[in-house]
Amino acid sequence: MRALTWQGKHDVRVESVPDPQLVNPRDAIVRITSTAICGSDLHLYDHYIPTMKAGDVLGHEFMGEVVEVGRGNKKLKVGDKVVVPFVIACGGCFFCQKQQYAACDNSNPAETADMSEKLYGYSMTGAFGYSHLTGGYAGGQAEYARVPYSDVGPIVVPKDIDDDKVLFLSDILPTGWMAAENCEIEPGDVVAVWGCGPVGLFAIQSAFVLGAHRVIAIDHYPHRLELAKSMGAEILDFEEVNVREALMEMTGGIGPDACIDAVGMESHGFSIDNVLDKAKAAVGLVTDRPHALRQVLLACRKGGRVSIPGVYGGFADKFPIGALMEKGLSIKTGQTHVQKYTQRLLDMILEGKLDTTFLISHRLDLEDAAQGYKMFKEQQNDVTKVVLKPRSAVRH
């Protein structure tokens, strides 16, 4: 089959690779009809996440048709149309029982789990197309994918629904939702969101649904800020204003009640701290550049809530632990427990309460995926989301 492979920093290529096979009884094989490029993929593209190997198949946002089902799966059948969560979870372990699917203890094979255990104290959960720290599973920017624990993750969607309407259940829609839920929004709350990429935009949408009184969105790309504005957010361009001062002014000197970091480890901006981070990262002295997170911790009101959907991978410098403690902030973060949210969000889509199609700015043939990565990386103002389709999906 054809699949997008990682070869090295800023080098991804569509190549012919072996078709996936059923390995375990609970596996299924999905023929992919739509797949998307995520901000998280850019961290791989820019080689910020360790343990990638040349030839790894990328992609964790995908959906399609079930073409084979292992005998241990009584839930799916051939022909089902499914969206597949990026998190691979067994459904039965201590964590899955608590619906903390992104902490599943069974989905990362032992030899790769050891690697993340050294980094984080406990091993990471399996995920599609996201380095050997998360199991080294082949991803879904491909014609087919093997889906482990396929009786737990994939959600069956109506056959006649347009892929565009449900594709983002695989990651960014639940991620935006959990980011807002983690803010524990109360009536009258002002929520500030750093980053108006897909995750930030869906966090804005979710924050309003969950009852935020006002949402203030921060970025520097005019088009992305316009999208935030069209969703009802007030906007701040961090290249034009001092963000903390502007937020203080907009909130009567109190600060936002809750703040969301939807930027992650590759902050933009020419502040002193970010320039130092970049220099240190270039020589391997730090791995992450948390400029936006520092700003979040300083800007959030005393006693406020901080939610971090943005991905961080290793170690960061100059973390304002004093502000965090002295102001009594609380923090919630993590990879999204996608499986916990898919049914509720699918229902909201089917009822017409949530629309995510506005985000898609570009559609490409899977064969042109390398160009898609380059565009998503270098033209972020206009390229808000790239959806890829394999040729085999168009032929069907």
Ligand X SMILES: NC(=O)c1ccc[n+]([C@@H]2O[C@H](COP(=O)([O-])OP(=O)(O)OC[C@H]3O[C@@H](n4cnc5c(N)ncnc54)[C@H](O)[C@@H]3O)[C@@H](O)[C@H]2O)c1
Q: Using CB under 6 A as the criterion, which residues of the chain lie in contact with ligand X when the complex forms?
A: 38-40, 42-43, 171-172, 175, 194-200, 218-221, 224, 238, 262-264, 267-269, 291-292, 309-311, 335-336, 380
CB closer to Zn ion out of 86 and 238: 86
Which three-class secondary structure state does DSSP give residue 244?
Answer: helix
Q: Residue 266 carries which DSSP code?
A: B
- For ligand X, which is the closer residue by CB, 204 or 311? 311
Q: Which helix (H) or strand (E) holds 60?
A: none
- Residue 90 interacts, among Zn ion, ligand X, none and using kind-specific CB cut-offs from 5 to 8 Å, with Zn ion
What number of other Cβ atoms are within 10 A of residue 364's Cβ?
A: 16
Q: What is the number of other CB atoms lying within 10 angstroms of the CB of residue 134?
A: 27
- The structure tokens listed for 198 are 């897909």
CB of 68 to ligand X, least distance (A): 28
For residue 179, the minimal CB distance to ligand X (Å) is 7
| Contact of residue 348 among Zn ion, ligand X, none (CB under 5-8 Å per partner type) | none
Q: What's the min distance (Å) between Cβ of 236 and ligand X?
A: 9
Between CA 162 and CA 216, with CA 381 as vertex, the angle to 5 degrees is 90
Q: How many beta carbons lie within 10 A of that of residue 344, not counting itself? A: 10
Least CB distance to ligand X at residue 293 (A): 9
Return the one option of ligand X, Zn ion, none that residue 104 interacts with (CB less than 5 to 8 A, by type). Zn ion
Rg (CA), the chain: 20
In whole angstroms, the minimum distance from the beta carbon of 184 to ligand X comes to 17
In the complex with Zn ion, the residue whose CB is nearer, 93 or 250, is: 93
Task: Please report, as ranges, the residues that interact with Zn ion according to CB under 5 A.
Answer: 38, 40, 61, 89-90, 93, 96, 104, 106, 171
Distances in Å between the Cα of 87 and the Cα atoms of 12, 50, 103, 159, 368 are 22, 18, 9, 23, 26
Q: How far is the CB of 41 from Zn ion (least distance, A)?
A: 7
DSSP, collapsed to helix, strand or coil, labels residue 161 as coil
Toward Zn ion, which CB reaches closer, 69 or 199?
A: 199
Choice between 136 and 198, CB closer to Zn ion: 198
Find the shortest distance in angstroms from Cβ 331 to ligand X: 13
Specify the DSSP element, H or E, that contains 34.
strand 28-36
Query: Which position's Cβ is nearest Zn ion?
Result: 38
Choose from Zn ion, ligand X, none: what does 93 bind? Cβ within 5-8 Å by kind. Answer: Zn ion
Quote the CA–CA distance of 243 and 194 in Å, as a whole number: 10
As a whole number of angstroms, the distance between CA 45 and CA 259 comes to 27
- Of 246, 286, 236, 247, give the one whose Cα is nearest residue 266: 286
Given ligand X, Zn ion, none, residue 310, with its beta carbon under 5 to 8 Å by kind, binds ligand X
Q: What does 220 bind: ligand X, Zn ion, none (CB cut-off 5 to 8 Å by kind)?
A: ligand X
State the pairing for strand pair 155-156/81-84. Answer: antiparallel
Contacted by 175, from ligand X, Zn ion, none: CB < 5 to 8 Å by type? ligand X
Rank residues 17 and 319 by Cβ distance to ligand X and give the closer one: 319
Q: How far is the CB of 122 from ligand X (least distance, A)?
A: 17
User: Which is nearer to ligand X, 2 or 291 (by Cβ)?
Assistant: 291
Q: Which does 219 bind (CB under 5 to 8 A by kind): ligand X, Zn ion, none?
A: ligand X
Within 8 A by CB and 6+ apart from 9, the residues are: 45, 46, 47
380 touches 221 (CB < 8 A): yes
Report, in Å, the least distance between residue 176 CB and ligand X: 9
Tell me how far apart the alpha carbons of residues 386 and 42 are, in angstroms, rounded to a whole number: 12
Q: Which does 167 bind (CB under 5 to 8 A by kind): ligand X, Zn ion, none?
A: none
Residues sharing a CB contact under 8 Å with residue 245, sequence separation 6 or more, in sequence order: none
Whose Cβ is closer to Zn ion: residue 70's or residue 174's? 174
